[in-house]
Structure 1
Amino acid sequence: MTDQAQTQPLTPELFAQGFMTPRRASVPKELVLPGGTLAQLATSEGDVAVQVAGTGPAVLLLHGWEGQASDMAAFVPPLLAAGLSVVAVHLPAHGASAGRQSSIPQAARALRDVGARLGPWQGAIAHSVGCAVLVEALHAGLVVRRVVALAAPARYEHHVRGAAAALGLDADDTERALGLLTAAMGADVRAVSLPGRAPTRHEPALFMHSEDDRVVPIGESLLSAGAWPGAVHRRLGGLGHRRLLGDADVVAAAVDFVRRAT
């Protein structure tokens, strides 16, 4: 949530505005792709930055909320070494993409549009909110053959309510904020649910989550994996919410999983 929203008396309108406004990194870190290209693709949600490298079957890399494409850098060398290509998407209002505000439904629509241009994809490796964006895009028709979900959250409504409670919104104002968010996002916040979408998915899926994650509790991905037919859940330890992105075992497991159908 923005500083402006926090220094004024909090209203449902200010809360909704702040909830959809990610903080961009003060010192952006570039994702270096050997021999890669950076393009701006027009989508229904504005221009989205996409980095592409390699010539084999493509694997999507998708960072989380207030993250950067460079968060996924550890996956690039082994994917390229395995003969795969990499498509790293900067979420709307993040990194090199356009926009100031976004949300899971809006980012999912943008990802669907990118997939229509550059897909179908051999696999996808997503982190945190990126997992929810990916699944919403799959629900809307995006084609990805294999899915790796790292530290995946479960229900968008739960996180909205948690943020509202932490900032002191009462029950009535929280309901008002949910209505405002639904209108602004163009989708019902309550319907944005990974475990809600999971039973209809057919893609092989691997969930990995650390027990000490203080941002997204591991129970959320356990719930989603349990609802996803045939999904595998790997419980990790000591890697928190972000350290798993650079863990050699996690990276190797993710790359091995997405390359299997090649």
Structure 2
Amino acid sequence: MSSFVIKSIGNALNATSLISSKYASKKALQLFASPRKGRYTENQRKIVDSAIFEKLSYNGQDIATYCWKGSGKTILLAHGWESNASRWSYLLESLKAQDYNIIALDGPAHGSSDGKQFNAVLYSEFINIVAKKHKAEVVVGHSVGGMATVFFMYNHQLPSVKKLILLGAPAHFTGVFSRYKTMMGFNKRISNGLDNIVIERFGKPVDYFSAANFTKTIEAKGLIIHDKKDKIIPFEDGQLFANRYKNSKFIETQGFGHGLKDESLTPKIIEFING
């Protein structure tokens, strides 16, 4: 969406909040949690067609999973916002060459998984179901997939998982929410209303959901990779992870952007997995 359209939507909801702040806040959260893309295109579908497809389930929602079988370590791949399992195409061949047992999933409301709404807490439960089923040893999460991976480990502490790789991951939900509010130009009625809805739905305030803080209790080794010029998730988030996640290694990059899809990183990821 263009900045004009974004601001127009924000202004419309601000006006609505004068009549009902609760209704406007609910609409603002619905907009925040509704991906506009992430379902498979024809070309993206070809990338996962070579995998063994299986549907798992969480609370009645189908979870789409893709498996490229190997005899080595089991690696679980969790994509980010408005993406799907095909985003790992740049990494797949190198992982296959290591004979890893590779599993990828589609997040809620993404790819071929069920749902119309997305949040990192729900995604973390999807990851837990898949990781348990396949006894994942390493979980790789990009962007909000990295955040959801940390939520999953914090809540479930799955013994099979020995290593986490976080690529351009948000360190805390407060920052994500704050950037959304600023982008939309929401007034205080909607801003406060959004915070209240989070408490109602999840029983915790927004600032509770800090992936960086959660890593303090995670024993699995971590590899954090973040680009200095990341325009989506600030570099400071990567630094915060590195500061809080004591059992981790931090790699800073420059020029790879938020996607971090650069072949020079692949040997470093494989070295960490094999180490």
When the two structures are superposed, what TM-score results if normalisation uses the length of structure 2? 0.85
Aligned residue identity for 1:24: K
| Aligned counterpart, 2:232 | 215
| Aligned counterpart, 2:17 | none
Aligned residue identity for 2:54: A
Q: 1:205 aligns with which of 217, 222, 234?
A: 222
Q: Between the two proteins, what is the percent identity of the paired residues?
A: 21
Please list, as runs of the form range in 1=range in 2, the aligned pairs for 1:1-262 lying within 5 A after superposition: 6=9, 9-10=12-13, 11-25=24-38, 28=41, 29-30=44-45, 32=47, 36-44=51-59, 46-56=61-71, 57-119=73-135, 121-143=136-158, 144-184=161-201, 188-242=205-259, 244-245=260-261, 247-260=262-275
Moved more, 37-46 or 215-224: 37-46
Alignment check: 8 A CA contact 1:202 1:229 kept: no
Secondary structure of the residue that 2:104 maps to in structure 1?
A: strand
How far apart, in 2, do the equivalents of 1:184 and 1:224 lie? Answer: 26
Cα shift readout 1:10-36 (whole Å, capped 9, x = no counterpart): 121211111111122476212635852
Alignment check: 8 A CA contact 1:69 1:89 kept: yes
Aligned residue identity for 1:93: A
Cα shift readout 1:213-241 (whole Å, capped 9, x = no counterpart): 11111110110111011311111011111
Alignment check: 8 A CA contact 1:92 1:99 kept: yes
How far apart, in 2, do the equivalents of 1:67 and 1:171 lie? Answer: 31
Alignment check: 8 A CA contact 2:78 2:105 kept: yes
How far apart, in 2, do the equivalents of 1:43 and 1:175 lie? Answer: 31
Secondary structure of the residue that 2:181 maps to in structure 1?
A: helix
Moved more, 207-216 or 153-162: 153-162
RMSD: 2.3
How far apart, in 2, do the equivalents of 1:222 and 1:176 lie? Answer: 30
Where does structure 1 lack aligned partners over 5 or more consecutive residues?
none
Aligned residue identity for 2:9: Q
Where does structure 2 lack aligned partners over 5 or more consecutive residues?
14-23
Secondary structure of the residue that 2:45 maps to in structure 1?
A: coil
Secondary structure of the residue that 1:148 maps to in structure 2?
A: strand
How far apart, in 1, do the equivalents of 2:223 and 2:208 lie? Answer: 23
How far apart, in 1, do the equivalents of 2:194 and 2:215 lie? Answer: 26
How far apart, in 2, do the equivalents of 1:81 and 1:98 lie? Answer: 32
Secondary structure of the residue that 1:83 maps to in structure 2?
A: coil
Q: How has the CA–CA distance of structure 1 residues 105 and 27 changed in structure 2, closer, same or farther, with 3 Å as cutoff?
A: closer
Q: How has the CA–CA distance of structure 1 residues 250 and 17 changed in structure 2, closer, same or farther, with 3 Å as cutoff?
A: same
How far apart, in 2, do the equivalents of 1:187 and 1:118 lie? Answer: 30
When the two structures are superposed, what TM-score results if normalisation uses the length of structure 1? 0.89
Give 1:155 deviation, angstroms.
Answer: 0.9
Q: How has the CA–CA distance of structure 1 residues 185 and 50 changed in structure 2, closer, same or farther, with 3 Å as cutoff?
A: farther
How far apart, in 2, do the equivalents of 1:77 and 1:33 lie? Answer: 12
